[in-house]
Structure 1
């Protein structure tokens, strides 16, 4: 089956994005497509695949996201920005509610975060801090900067469902080795959190008189990643919940992939504005049953967008 797609990224979180509104495949077949296209050893590679899906009575369009291991994520906020951009382009709109796997989010086109950088703002929430919603099998009340019984870490975590599950800890300095060990443990689907979880270590940094966050994430179904949009959102909420930043205050949130503008609002709603960069367009044959991948054909490159993003990074 031939797929045309846009290779895109949000804060360095990169994906092949497919307009799937007229494509009929089962979940198992999409999982095979995701494994094939996301494989970093192949010609495409990515942190998963994004699907633009059809509209309905309440949503301008929908999004699905499959991880490199074939699992489907409840949401992906970096991917949502890219999918929303494509959705707005093909529908001729600039704002609307987007259907996700288990929830919905508001998205709209906003002023660029840097010259030439296409920017989308998303708003999600109210999110949940109920342990059951995060996937934890312990706890009656929310874990907000608290030890989680049974977790092999002495750190204090805030547990947030975005609705995908996040465990967020604030640290003086990120230790990748420690983060990977804990992420690997969660990835094993332990009894404490059988649906697994995204784990983030967050540094609070001062920029002049304004606080900023640096987020490093072990992403469920992916591993250690340069960027995870829902982790940046969860970290922003955790920072507000613990008094590190103010409610309703726009904060710059950094990761290895780039930067977004974020704010947590009273009522546990999080808004993020960040890039939705299209790098190149391609097409490729994928067998949805076996996952066999054919040769890649590049249809065009978006060199101006790539240059604008690189210029922004150089200025950070």
Structure 2
């Protein structure tokens, strides 16, 4: 089975072109192929598929085999692959995702995505107790669930032991299907810093939907301007709230290598 490894800010997935390859059991394949010791290695598996309503369709699977509806870094890479490999002929086109259609524009070095409508999924500042600690968060829906937690300083953000505390946030009873958890420090109205513990994958270097959720939460709480740079462990993304309420995300999408996976 031919595959391509791609990454957006270090958020890396194994991509399979289902215009030419067939995947019978993507849930099981995701667990095997994403293993960084016994497989190709990555944060999960993404299938680039034919679509009845768009030029291409994205199916995204986390490293634990669970299927997600949306992945911001993933959809940028799908758009880049589709254009570079001739699946589409124009630089602007729609990508079908589990969360609906997402409009993409492939630029020279980056890819821009209309992330669609972002919604508050509860109270703007909602109290919550995580592992016995009382805190607060902003619940956000970006086609998948997010919880954004404010952190007092950049040092505190860097000092978080997400490997230890992350599971308690991901599996909190407030979110029976699990949640992506973002930890946000506001440096200025134009610059935000975040770390993310992704549902089904653990801490990753970047999360596009997470960056969108962070930008939305900061803007709604009057902490950020309508256009911001979000700094993640793997690099930076540009987020802008459009006049129709949608969010536009712009960032890199890089093809790393291709190969042949000998599936079981």
The TM-score, its normalising length taken from structure 2, stands at: 0.90
Aligned positions, number: 259
Which residue of structure 1 aligns with residue 106 of structure 2? Answer: 109
Aligned ranges 1:161-310 → 2 under 5 Å: 161-172=141-152, 173-174=156-157, 177=160, 179-188=162-171, 190-206=172-188, 211-247=190-226, 249=227, 251-265=228-242, 268-287=245-264
Higher relative strand content = 2
Separation in structure 2 between the aligned mates of residue 10 and residue 258 of structure 1, nearest angstrom: 9
How much has 1:268 moved relative to structure 2?
A: 4.0
| Residues 128 and 151 of structure 1, relative CA distance in 2, 3 Å threshold | farther
Separation in structure 2 between the aligned mates of residue 105 and residue 64 of structure 1, nearest angstrom: 13
Query: Is the 8 Å Cα contact of residues 118 and 216 (structure 2) preserved in structure 1?
Result: no
How much has 1:240 moved relative to structure 2?
A: 0.8
After superposition, the CA RMSD in angstroms is 2.1
SS of 1:59's partner is coil
Q: Which has the larger radius of gyration?
A: 1
| Residues 177 and 215 of structure 1, relative CA distance in 2, 3 Å threshold | closer
| Residues 45 and 4 of structure 1, relative CA distance in 2, 3 Å threshold | same
Which residue of structure 2 aligns with residue 119 of structure 1? Answer: 110
How much has 1:24 moved relative to structure 2?
A: 4.2
How much has 1:78 moved relative to structure 2?
A: 0.5
Which residue of structure 2 aligns with residue 41 of structure 1? Answer: 37
Query: Is the 8 Å Cα contact of residues 170 and 181 (structure 2) preserved in structure 1?
Result: no
Query: Is the 8 Å Cα contact of residues 158 and 168 (structure 1) preserved in structure 2?
Result: yes
Give deviations 1:166-194, integer Å, cap 9, x for gaps. 00012123165464455312444x53211
SS of 2:218's partner is helix
Separation in structure 2 between the aligned mates of residue 151 and residue 245 of structure 1, nearest angstrom: 29
Query: Is the 8 Å Cα contact of residues 174 and 201 (structure 1) preserved in structure 2?
Result: yes
Q: Which runs of 5+ in 1 are unaligned?
A: 113-117, 131-141, 288-316
Separation in structure 1 between the aligned mates of residue 201 and residue 130 of structure 2, nearest angstrom: 23
SS of 2:213's partner is helix
Separation in structure 1 between the aligned mates of residue 19 and residue 112 of structure 2, nearest angstrom: 23
How much has 1:213 moved relative to structure 2?
A: 1.0
Separation in structure 1 between the aligned mates of residue 143 and residue 251 of structure 2, nearest angstrom: 20
Separation in structure 1 between the aligned mates of residue 40 and residue 129 of structure 2, nearest angstrom: 41
Q: Does 1:99 align with 2:75?
A: no
| Residues 176 and 199 of structure 1, relative CA distance in 2, 3 Å threshold | farther
